[in-house]
Chain A
């Protein structure tokens, strides 16, 4: 239970003052309503957020979204912007699953057109999109990918070398699916060995692929721009950089931990290990992290290609050809961006860490693809199996108060152990099937651990970010099939 003093400063924005604990350089701020705050105070989330506020060079505040929950080092749902030259980059502030993110595909058919082909489609998706269990001979990445080119160019390498994806897919991906400054040589041989055969695999834990229908439209103009309509069938892909990204983070947490004395940095938690952005260690990490982020975008592009293959097998070539990518967003990443912290008149270059948080740039932002510039960046907020997910659009106030960021999901409420005490995998599968949700999962145990009971109410989380002006609801999605890693 948190004992930090926290006060409401504005609508949905709460603040822990910088004086609350020794070492905090800035306040810690949280977007939540009273009920979410009460849940958040039950674990170490706020302690971890206060720890983030101690990072050298952090500006304005350590921020948390309403889906915040206890993680390691940073809380999940945490945002921190640091300013060079003193400002640091922290691998733990990005997390092990670098560029874990979400891609949404929209099929050119409505749920009524799907009819009795729903279950065969879910089965085919589970057949074509492997989880990626360990071991030689069982690994199931796409064949023929040049790993160094993927690390440098992301999904563009798959398009140019293997014909996977399209120019439109790249345009409709955050940062075009490629972070500049990626250096394949900065990624360790060990990381490459882990990732070598994993492009196009889902992974385990909370990763999933979901077949959905659009069940409500809130903003017709934005929905039209995203080319989404009520009843339409969609596919949501949640995955990241797999073992390659995990190893990059492992390598650099260890490396920076050993250099803290050199940089005269003292931290309340070793997992926050960091180095100045401008230092050789900071630059090497950003080069490797960018490469891992590019790998993750390529992974989701390959999964999308496999999903289109499943659509073709069950629904035919015309439907597969008409299956479009709506957008692809990153959840775990650090980027050099220009912002005006504290309402400054001048833009400054900051290193924005988003750990379980989504970029949400507003209408008119020059980094958005032209087709979405009038309505704002699409943001996807997965709920949990059996509950809704949302498509949001970035809003202006996100640039004023959260470095252009919003939430990333419902946020966990219960531990894996606790939820397994309440839910049995077989019974959950049956319950979901009764709700019209076809389920394929690697294991019953893994299914139970990701039960809807484990998560906060996604609708409440979304209401908070909408009321705070960070993002606005565009459409709601309901699951009709789930594939769990």
Chain B
């Protein structure tokens, strides 16, 4: 489960999940909201008329600790959106280590808006909470 927390200028994401893998999947779902091609652009590009097939990408990330790994995972998705027009939809076969994450991600190719500039380290957290995990990530937009 994820929610957007009020933040004056940026976008602050709060995630709660029962597993570490769930946090990564929810982070992808949150980004999918932001990276979806705008309806107006889809209309101009003929997406509605032509439809868009599902495609997959291998995504891998490495970092020195768990919060930074979550940031690196999200950065990879932003990078793919910007350079390939890849809009993520769902994560499959996530292999999660303490300092690495590898997965196959399904999505579509489109014209994602250049809204997300970066995934920041500001108040970045990812830690056990209750029976699961809680994470906070601030995106620069």
**Judging by beta carbons under 8 Å apart, are B113 and A96 in contact?**
no
Interface residues of B in 87-114 (CB under 8 A from A): 109-114
A 291-316 binary contact with B (CB < 8 Å = 1; else 0)? 00000000000000000000000000
Tell me the nearest residue of chain B to A205, going by C-beta.
B141
A 61-95 binary contact with B (CB < 8 Å = 1; else 0)? 00000000111110010000000000000001001
Interface residues of B in 53-71 (CB under 8 A from A): 63-64, 68
Task: Name the B residues within 8 Å of A413 (CB-CB).
Answer: 8
> How far does the alpha carbon of A193 sit from the alpha carbon of B84 in the complex, in Å?
10
When A135-B112, A194-B83 are in contact, do A442 and B41 touch as well, CB less than 8 Å? yes
> How far does the alpha carbon of A138 sit from the alpha carbon of B38 in the complex, in Å?
14
When A204-B114, A257-B68 are in contact, do A270 and B6 touch as well, CB less than 8 Å? no
Tell me the smallest distance from the CB of B13 to a CB of chain A, in Å: 12
Tell me the nearest residue of chain A to B9, going by C-beta.
A412
Tell me the nearest residue of chain B to A193, going by C-beta.
B83
Interface residues of B in 6-63 (CB under 8 A from A): 6-11, 35, 37-41, 45, 63
Tell me the nearest residue of chain B to A45, going by C-beta.
B8
Tell me the smallest distance from the CB of B112 to a CB of chain A, in Å: 4
**Judging by beta carbons under 8 Å apart, are A95 and B68 in contact?**
no
B 99-141 binary contact with A (CB < 8 Å = 1; else 0)? 0000000000111111101111111100000000000001011
**Judging by beta carbons under 8 Å apart, are B140 and A135 in contact?**
no
The verdict on A485 contacting chain B, using a C-beta distance below 8 Å, is yes
> How far does the alpha carbon of A102 sit from the alpha carbon of B121 in the complex, in Å?
27
Task: Name the A residues within 8 Å of B120 (CB-CB).
Answer: 72-73, 92, 96, 253, 271
Contact residue among A190, A258, A417, A444 (Cβ-Cβ distance under 8 Å from B6): A417
Count residues of B near A (Cβ-Cβ below 8 Å).
44
Count residues of A near B (Cβ-Cβ below 8 Å).
53
Contact residue among A95, A193, A418 (Cβ-Cβ distance under 8 Å from B140): A95
**Judging by beta carbons under 8 Å apart, are A412 and B8 in contact?**
yes
> How far does the alpha carbon of A76 sit from the alpha carbon of B83 in the complex, in Å?
28
**Judging by beta carbons under 8 Å apart, are B113 and A204 in contact?**
yes
**Judging by beta carbons under 8 Å apart, are B6 and A243 in contact?**
no
Contact residue among A203, A242, A416 (Cβ-Cβ distance under 8 Å from B11): A416
Task: Name the B residues within 8 Å of A131 (CB-CB).
Answer: 113-114
> How far does the alpha carbon of A254 sit from the alpha carbon of B75 in the complex, in Å?
12
The verdict on A97 contacting chain B, using a C-beta distance below 8 Å, is yes
Tell me the smallest distance from the CB of B77 to a CB of chain A, in Å: 11
Interface residues of A in 236-280 (CB under 8 A from B): 242-243, 246-247, 249-250, 253-254, 257-258, 269-271, 273
Tell me the smallest distance from the CB of A42 to a CB of chain B, in Å: 8
Q: Using a CB–CB distance below 8 Å, which chain B residues touch chain A?
A: 4, 6-11, 35, 37-41, 45, 63-64, 68, 72, 75, 79, 81-86, 109-115, 117-124, 138, 140-141
3 smallest beta-carbon distances between A and B, as pairs: A135-B85, A72-B122, A271-B122
Q: Can you report 27 A-B residue pairs in the complex whose CB atoms are below 8 A from each other? A: A69-B9, A70-B10, A71-B10, A72-B10, A72-B121, A72-B123, A73-B120, A96-B118, A96-B120, A134-B110, A135-B109, A135-B112, A138-B85, A194-B83, A243-B82, A246-B118, A247-B79, A269-B122, A415-B7, A415-B8, A416-B141, A417-B6, A442-B38, A443-B38, A443-B40, A443-B113, A444-B40
